[in-house]
Structure 1
């Protein structure tokens, strides 16, 4: 794990890269290299892109990466260039800043957007390239609360939705041994309050907060079971067609072979030319590495 100091010196941000290696069946995906590129993008600040769907469907928004202090503005800029009312957001994210995720989720909600978990890909078929969504993706930490912002919410069986506590990002290396001031506790409790209000505003259940806040940074993230997804009200539909175009027009949720490694992050630097994620003054959530958890910025 590596913590990078925020350029504006207001806090720390966790930069991580997935340690997963996925082999995509070429008969289904046509381009195995694409998934590797997508997985690399997850260690960068969140990127929004419009996925065009041909020939007779509207398309959707792909949201990949870590929520930073820039993400709400980036989405505002993106929204001005696209008609997003009622559009679907496909999430593949390990979370990010608590307050910035709340702001981003409220914007999704104000546009009556739909949400799901997945990786957007291009399927190479005899009829030409068609956009699709691979369901075996991750939505962790504050991403779960972005998922909650959707007017309609669908989670495919192969997706991983995982929760944990928010924590102080600069106490990541050894959260048990670190010291904490009254100011630190105030920040965490303030953000828990904001998160609780947001959860109920979005129609979520108290169980979501209970499950999330019961997992400390020195334990593995808790993956929500299908029953917990329903009990927390994260899932509002069991039909993928309620959030994405039907398979017969070329947008299937294609299945992948199971991943052999579940850990989310290893130490790593951002790609050349990429700007490191910046954090705001908020509590931050933890991300496990090597089967254990390590604290990160409010995510």
Structure 2
């Protein structure tokens, strides 16, 4: 799982100035400073990633003939440019409120926050599930050949073996309706923040005023990572951002306890009952419902292709004779 913290600047006690023999004087200042890296990651994601970066596909169900549901299949790692890709696919959807179906190992936390907010602003539902496109082989269920030039395709979703791990549940939390099934997995773990020690070079211009040196300009000319440290402690800024985001999405902050109970190289699977209690999920899919189905309207007919059908009402009893 990735996160971002603000830059922490602390100048080193020693530095080196190189003077030239003319005025104004020029110098290069080498500074070593610890800085919270622009990205941080879980230990297992420092290794080679299993999934490629997240890609979005608009899919229409092949399991029906008329008024077939559509959804946005979102599969892959969440990277810093994933929100921009999501924005592009939402534009392609032309205002249609299509559920977003996630299958992801996680990724960048700030990007997940941005995605969740985009999903909530657009009024979209989310689900955990995988997508298989028509005509694709088993080993490549979302093959390029099945995707049209406009980014659309035909296929179906599945729950068994689908997962939403690490930062993925944060993006998933953006849904107005958030569903999964007993055969799909939602998992969380601690955030590991990577701190970079940076060596920064400056070009500094001086002039002599009344016999004293005065800096008149400073320009950064280069920086290089000079070492790294990491921490699983959730800092004040990261903790405040996470708490505020969960509150914004209507999710109980007990999720944080779940996250902190699992080390970065493991995953805490959140049982469906717990996910429902914490409002990370709003409903569980029935055995005959699949990810990508829209939520049923209160007056939806029994034959409507949607999840969460309203309970059938018993017919009113006929009045008895006097």
TM class, shorter-chain normalised? Answer: 0.5 to 0.7
Partner of 1:133: 157
CA deviation string 1:62-111 (max 9, x = no partner): 01111111011111122222135531000001111111110111000101
Counterparts of 2:120 and 2:164, CA distance in 1: 18
Change (3 A) 1:84 1:167: farther
Change (3 A) 1:251 1:47: farther
Change (3 A) 1:162 1:12: closer
Contact 2:105-2:168 within 8 A present in 1 as well: yes
1:145 aligns with 2:170: yes
> 1:116-131 to 2 correspondence within 5 Å?
116-122=127-133, 131=155
- Which of 60, 72, 79 is the equivalent residue of 1:68? 79
Change (3 A) 1:169 1:180: closer
Contact 2:97-2:122 within 8 A present in 1 as well: yes
1:221 aligns with 2:267: yes
The unaligned stretches of length 5 or more in structure 2 are 1-36, 136-152, 197-227, 297-302, 308-322
Matched residue SS, 1:197: helix
Change (3 A) 1:202 1:250: closer
User: Displacement, 1:179?
Assistant: 4.5
Partner of 1:48: 56
Partner of 1:244: 293
User: Displacement, 1:180?
Assistant: 5.1
1:91 aligns with 2:102: yes
Change (3 A) 1:122 1:242: closer
Equivalences, count: 206
Contact 2:251-2:280 within 8 A present in 1 as well: yes
User: Displacement, 1:52?
Assistant: 2.0
Counterparts of 2:77 and 2:283, CA distance in 1: 26
Counterparts of 2:262 and 2:40, CA distance in 1: 21
Change (3 A) 1:222 1:241: closer
User: Displacement, 1:249?
Assistant: 9.0
Partner of 1:234: 280
**Which structure has greater strand proportion?**
2
Partner of 1:155: 180
CA deviation string 1:3-31 (max 9, x = no partner): xxxxxx9556646454xxxxxxxxxxxxx
Change (3 A) 1:95 1:170: farther
Counterparts of 1:204 and 1:17, CA distance in 2: 29
Partner of 2:189: 164
The unaligned stretches of length 5 or more in structure 1 are 1-8, 19-42, 172-177, 253-299
1:110 aligns with 2:110: no
Matched residue SS, 1:162: strand
Change (3 A) 1:72 1:229: same
CA deviation string 1:111-161 (max 9, x = no partner): 11111111111367xxxx962111021100111111211101111111011
Highest RCO, 1 vs 2 (Cα 8 Å, sep ≥ 6)? 1
RMSD of the alignment, in Å?
3.4
**Which structure has greater helix proportion?**
1
Change (3 A) 1:84 1:44: farther
- Which of 197, 200, 209 is the equivalent residue of 2:244? 197
Counterparts of 1:86 and 1:111, CA distance in 2: 7
